[in-house]
Amino acid sequence: MVDLTALLADLAAESDDLDALVAGRPPVDWSKPTPAPGWSVAHQIAHLAWTDHVALLAATDADGFLASVLAAPDPARLVDDGAAEFLAPPAELVERWRVGRAALAATLAAAPVGVKLPWYGTRMSPASMATARIMETWAHGEDVADALGVDRPATARLRHVAHLGFRTLGHGFAVHGRPVPTSPVRVELAAPDGETWAYGPADAADRVTGPARDFCLLVTQRRHRSDLALTATGPVADEWLDVAQAFAGPPGAGRAPAGGTTDGGAPDNPAGPSHPAGPNATAGTNDPAGTNATAGTNDPARPNETAGTNETAGRSGSAGPGVPA
């Protein structure tokens, strides 16, 4: 059974780490561009604050949340508009983010057992929502760190991101218009504490190995495959590393390799900000328990019952990765 208390503690710790990175910085740092096109450091934090706000609305007023989704003047600009709406002077923005994330955590902690919260294209358990927030906070924190020239140490909290990345294998293939593989993939990751995080059947012929942080950077499209120390064995694993996407919506642009391009032409577009997430557990055979999660409808007006999270690298559509409810 998922330990919601532990998830919320990890969410608080992930948020506090990013808070410590940005709080008290001069205005010039807040205006620095991040790898997300058109987004500064301030936009990244405003996006997190806005997403906490709409998540709180979903948890406290389901009808109001769904009405706000349907009333959006331009769904394609929902994320950008939300970030712009929450922009404020640095001290005010940080305080707003702190208040909002604390309110969301308290609400999730008090949610009735078995409740499902409406989200963009899905319905999520409180545990799934907390996991989604961990993933998104970490991914956008990487964007902020890149802008500020800071190297952030990997933590055990990456386990949540890695699990979502594994669970969305089928989704990455599907959104790129490729057949979802039926053969399993084994993933073995070197965790920050020296342990190994393993997912999938131990006897699978296709395998992915490497540092956990590198895997998380790949599935959230914060780094190009060629810049990471990940090894793929087998054709399915190799193709997966080219299409991995732990967020829903159309294929993300991803990041250009550090060398410049993927095809000898113009540099690839860097990854943009993500849509607030709600994991779709997409089809595939890669559930450690042996079950196949199915993709949802992604219709905000008709949320489906799959749980999940989004954490994302491009201005994607409805949320992405799935975890058991």
Within 8 A by CB and 6+ apart from 91, the residues are none
Q: Which residue has the higher pLDDT, 86 or 251?
A: 86
Domains of the chain: which residue ranges? 1-325
If pLDDT is split at 50, 70 and 90, which confidence band does 183 have? very high
Mean pLDDT of 208-231: 98
Structure pTM? 0.83
Q: What percent of the chain has pLDDT over 70?
A: 79
CA distance 101 to 104: 5
If pLDDT is split at 50, 70 and 90, which confidence band does 75 have? confident
Which pLDDT does position 2 carry in this prediction?
A: 84
**Bridging pattern class, strands 122-124 and 185-190:** unpaired
Task: Report whether pLDDT(207) > 50.
Answer: yes
The two tokens of residue 62 are 């389901």
Task: Report whether pLDDT(163) > 50.
Answer: yes
CA distance 231 to 282: 23
If pLDDT is split at 50, 70 and 90, which confidence band does 66 have? very high
Q: Are 36 and 44 in contact (CB under 8 A)?
A: yes
Q: How far apart are the first and last CA of the chain?
A: 10
Mean pLDDT of 80-108: 98
Query: What pLDDT, in 10s, does the model give residues 36-55?
Result: 999 999 999 999 999 999 99
Which pLDDT does position 279 carry in this prediction?
A: 37
Q: What percent of the chain has pLDDT over 90?
A: 72
What mean pLDDT is reported for the chain?
A: 83
The two tokens of residue 206 are 């296709």
CATH 1.10.10.10 corresponds to the domain 1-325: no
Task: Report whether pLDDT(323) > 50.
Answer: no
Q: What is the dihedral of CA 224, 164, 177, 51, to 10 degrees?
A: -90
Range name among 69-83, 88-102, 232-246 with the lowest pLDDT average:
69-83
CA distance 57 to 63: 9
